[in-house]
Structure 1
């Protein structure tokens, strides 16, 4: 069965900041369905849910003959069909999942219930993406496609042990060889469910990667705001345009150095600390920033 991004069919598309909450809510719904299949019971609606989104989810299950429209529907409970309880059952999450951390959330769910897990990455050139997007009834802005191309993270089994069961194929490929590889991928996942008890070293490594990604994103947002505010203060101080340009270059260079340092874990600015904290990053950045600012205007900050 396949779950696509049904919530995108709504006329009012969510803002980027809301997508994470929607993904997490969808995973909760998926878990409700998994629990029903595993335990052989009814699919019950979670207490905290978005009515329209839950309705779309149930509609998706009905279209694929996984739940029935029984009288219990008035009680927010749905009976599983023969299709749902048959074996094997493949669940396909059809979305971009452009960040590795997004896919890791699905992996955690598979591990929780000892299910098979695999990833299929369709490698597509930017030019082909733009061409296909232009043929859609409701095309996305070209800038969105360019932005996605810069963000998307391919599976990296060498770095992430949990991504070892992954297949990367060109999206233009439609050969018998590609079909056989896909079949092997699905069978391997089916025959080798993820076990809940894993090597703690691997688990901690994966968790650490997720944490580092989040810290880097938060730091980037906060440092951008600091640079923006500093430039505003410089303009208020009537710093000459030429010096404003130099100040902006120095501050952006400093920000880039901080983020690069965090990304590679060099901790140049954090001395010997083992754990990276956002307040520490901001404090060190302010110290270095103030040293630069003094060259252009004397007002203390």
Structure 2
């Protein structure tokens, strides 16, 4: 199988490290590196835990570390965009597996406000990155997803005292209501959905490949330079990868293949025309 993108490998590795911490928290056993996680990533995770005071002091160097005993409730805050619902669902699955609480705090901020705030950062991201994130991000859907019921959506213009009080109350309520194992076989449902998604993505991939092949033939017929043909191929393949990733992460897979490939056809034509009419 093709190697996962670096960002996806990093996310998966972090989730594996987080699960090892939860296992140790529940069982009291020492922490151990996940088989699939790289040593550098594991060391960064441990360093972060130490910095937060989450690990007990080692009695001697080299001894496996264990989670520190806590006098009060322990909150693990994952500060990330989690722009796809599927990303957040992976964390929910961990909470359910270990019967822990799970909640989501979503800050709803207008795009223009995000762009303004980004420009004030010491190392701002490109505007197009912020715009792309705004287009892709999926808000919690409390009506559709039962697992997202425990979500708080705040308008992120200016933080107020009322917001702080609401967040504190929200966290306290979540702590009192840990996720319980569902009697229904949700894991099987997710496996079925994954199979359906893989089939849909495969179909779309085959269609996109044919579109690219025809686009390259059309470009060659227009006598585009070999160096530009190479750039064109790279651009079309990058476009294909982005569209397939969006499809792969989508929740509603029905009737998506046709709309996605139609969209790819239009965008591919625009890319080719850019080279033809230079």
User: TM above 0.5, one fold?
Assistant: yes
- Cα distance in 1 for partners of 2:79, 2:35 equals 26
| 1:229 and 2:218 correspond | no
In 2, distance between residues paired with 1:70 and 1:267? Answer: 53
Indicate the structure (1 or 2) with the bigger Cα radius of gyration. 1
Aligned counterpart for 1:196 among listed residues 161, 176, 181: 181
Per the TM alignment, residue 139 of structure 1 is displaced from its structure 2 partner at its CA by: 1.8
Query: Which residue of 2 is the match for residue 182 of structure 1?
Result: 167
Tell me by how many angstroms 1:115 deviates.
0.8
- The two structures have a TM-score, normalised by structure 1, of 0.67
Q: Distance in 2 between matches of 1:122 and 1:138?
A: 21
Which deviates more from structure 2 when the two are superposed, residues 147-156 or residues 60-69?
60-69
Q: How far apart are 1:18 and its partner, in Å?
A: 1.3
Task: Say how many residue pairs are matched.
Answer: 234
The alignment's C-alpha RMSD in Å is 3.3
Q: Secondary structure at the match of 1:121?
A: strand
> Is the aligned partner of 1:78 residue 2:65?
yes
Please say if residues 110 and 194 of structure 1, whose CA atoms lie closer than 8 Å, have aligned partners that are also in contact.
yes
| TM-score, normalised with respect to structure 2 | 0.72
Paired residue secondary structure (1:167): strand
Q: Contact between 1:216 and 1:263, CA under 8 Å: does it hold in 2?
A: no
Matched residue, 1:17 = 5
Which consecutive unaligned segments of at least 5 residues does structure 1 have?
Answer: 1-14, 240-254, 270-280, 286-301
* Distance apart, 1:211 and its partner CA: 6.0
Unaligned runs of 5+ in 2: 224-242, 263-278
CA contact (8 A) 2:56 2:69 kept: no
User: C-alpha distance in 2, partners of 1:125/1:82?
Assistant: 41
**Residue in 2 aligned with 1:116?**
101
**In structure 1, distance between residues paired with 2:174 and 2:76:** 12
How many angstroms does 1:187 deviate by? Answer: 2.1
Secondary structure, counterpart of 1:93 in structure 2: coil
Q: Partner residue of 1:141?
A: 126
Q: Which residue of 2 aligns with 1:42?
A: 30
Measure, in 1, the Cα distance between the counterparts of 2:168 and 2:197.
33
Residues 106 and 153, structure 2, Cα contact 8 Å, conserved in 1:
yes
Distance 1:147 1:118, change over 3 A: same
Structure 2 counterparts to residues 37-116 of structure 1, below 5 A: 37-71=25-59, 73-75=61-63, 77-83=64-70, 86-116=71-101
